[in-house]
Amino acid sequence: MPGFRTPFKDARPVPFAARLALLKEALRGSALDGRPEVKISSFEAGLKRVVYTHETIAHFKRRHPGSRLYFLMGSDCLASFGKWKNSGEILRDAALLAGLRPGCALQKRAAVPFVPLDGIFPRAASSDLRGRLFLGERPREMQRRVLALIDRKGLYLSRERARLKRTLSPRRFAHCLETARLAQELAPGLGLPPQKAALAGLLHDCARELPARRLRSLALKFRTPGMAYKTMAREAPVLLHAWAGAAEARGAFGVRDRGVLEAIALHATGTPEMSPLARLVYVCDLAAEGRDFPEAGLVRELSRRDFAAAFRETNYVKLSYAFSCGGWVHPLSVSLWNSLQETKLK
């Protein structure tokens, strides 16, 4: 039963039709292939909305009156089962079968009766697998034929990664991957979709190595308030890559999410009006693994404990570097500093 949209996930990495194709491919490569009693249901997709488990079980109860229904879940879900919508109806209409997940003991709960299964479920949470796919990893828990289909269809950011790899040097591409990795790690704590964070982190430097003339023309296609294009092009043309990157992400990579584009455009300078996603990429660009200045590691560790403090420190480090070079400092960076100081004084 592939879900159309589940209540606990705020982003759909790939369309339903593509996920259905992946499921079929996985079944073809398993011991379940060809067994007539194994069927894929598109019930939830037909509703085209968030579908709750109690609705799905009620559907099968109507389809198979008098039959005993079973709902399979991992032990990691048992603790929060009481928060599921109409969980009492689920327990009334189906028996819970619970498999042990590493690190999540099968603890008996009076309010949630279940039948424990023998053995241990694989250490393969779907959120973890998606995150690894976003970064170009090939989880060994997944079948090779499924991974090959993901590549052919360009799913889970594989299309964007392949294009980016062709346009950047190995060193710059590695930095983009590490920025995406850190952004994806920190996103849940900030209430942000990990896929969106990974995409913004991955593409933030997509224009970093374009020729100067191309940078100037692209940057003009993504103007934002306070950009100071003429002065920036004259005094600090390297900063143009941020706005050019937003234009390149929109044009060459097909990104339409305004939040992702804004995060790319503002990752170098910042601005007082940054969205949470833009703040995340701003920090992760500086703090990504592989940066060769000591402040990067300090900010990276700080971001895992206190993101707001890491954001302030990122602005301080970037401004300190700009002033130490004795050149022009972008007014947006200064405005961000001033706004952060005003906030501290309140």
Domain ranges of the chain: 157-345
Exposure string over 183-221, b if 16+ CB within 10 A, otherwise e: bbbbbeeeebbbbbbbbbbbbbbbbbebeeeebbebbee
Residue 127: per-residue pLDDT: 78
Confidence band of 110 (pLDDT split at 50, 70, 90)? low
Exposed / middle / buried, residue 1 (Cβ in 10 Å: 0-12, 13-18, 19+): middle
Nearest to 68 by CA among 95, 36, 37: 95
Whether 106 shows a pLDDT value over 90: the answer reads no
Q: Phi first, then psi: give them for residue 262, nearest 5 degrees.
A: -65, -40
Helix (H, G, I), strand (E, B) or coil at 145: helix
C-alpha 295 chain-centroid distance: 25
The CATH number of domain 157-345, selected from 3.40.50.970, 3.40.50.720, 1.10.3210.10, 2.40.50.140: 1.10.3210.10
pLDDT digits (tens, 9 = 90+) for 16-55: 889 999 999 999 988 888 898 899 998 988 888 888 999 9
Give the separation between CA 217 and CA 247, rounded to whole angstroms: 10
Give the separation between CA 327 and CA 321, rounded to whole angstroms: 10
Confidence band of 8 (pLDDT split at 50, 70, 90)? low
